[in-house]
Amino acid sequence: ADAPPRGRTTGERKKERKRERIVIVIMFFDDIAKSLSELLKPVDVGTTTIDAAAKGAAPKLHVDVNTGASVIAIDASKTIEITDGVSIEACGTPAGDLSANVEANGLVSGFDLKLTGVTADASSASVGAKFSMDSLGVTADGALKAGSDVTATACYAVDDNLSVGASAVVSSASGGVSAWSIAAQRVDGPTTLSTSVTDGGNTLAVGVNSELDANTSAGLRATLNMGDRNTLGFALAVSKKLSSGDVARVVYANSGDTDIAYNTTLCKGADVTACLRLAKNNSYKTGFQVSLNN
């Protein structure tokens, strides 16, 4: 008698490949090169911020203290779930400024809507909409005030590894496009390649970021400004998770500034990030972010 097949049969392998091919990655324009942008993000210096959130009815608190501690801003917010997919975030300050953010997600398949900064004067609010279908994601954002510009984006996931997108700012007054940009990203294993053209075609950026190992990431972006005078800039960064669980990140730009961020957990629910910027003139600035969650 014939020996039984070893492992998966040819038919089983074909079925698995077919299932793998129908996996669709939904991306929006802002997701292109997002991991690189987060890696290269300048650290927050010159301020100390404290964010506190507790379970239950207590509101979220955000405290912002400037360098000289002469100005302290306190914001409080509380999110209320109205129904599945619909929530209202009520925000307030000690000065009595009140506003609300309203989100409605998934009431219509693939469609999300958000109103931000709703006050007694409704025209001061802004509205943002997202819609995704198969491998296409589109967004539209703008203020409710009459005559405000609208920012529209579209992103198409060609496959699991390649995405292309475009963004345009449309003037409601003239109907013309006042600004536009295009971008693309390709993922190859642990490495992501990205490129973008912005400022009406005057700025070209090319970037690469990669996971060097399970705890280390590195990235580089070069930017060519082709305006009145061609200028080339670059920024590179490395992020490392230490054996202690702390995370250190270093960003260097051709301007000569070096940013250092160090994140540590003091105890359960309490994280602190210390930031340092070393300027090329040997001056420095510091900043601290504290996050408390119970």
Position 289 pLDDT exceeds 50: yes
| Token pair of 98 as six digits | 């009140």
pLDDT tier for residue 56 given thresholds of 50, 70 and 90:
low
CA distance 264 to 273: 6
| Coil, helix or strand at residue 35 | helix
What's the CA angle centered on 135, arms 223 and 182, to 5 degrees?
Answer: 20
pLDDT in tens, 268-279: 889 999 999 999
Strands 98-108, 86-92: parallel, antiparallel or unpaired by DSSP?
antiparallel
CA distances 254 to 44, 205, 218, 221, Å, are 19, 15, 16, 11
pLDDT in tens, 105-160: 988 888 999 999 888 777 778 999 999 988 999 999 998 887 789 999 999 999 98
Position 7 pLDDT exceeds 60: no
Arithmetic mean of pLDDT, 236-265: 96
Please provide the distance, in angstroms rounded to a whole number, between the alpha carbons at the two ends of the chain.
65
Give pLDDT, residue 70: 53
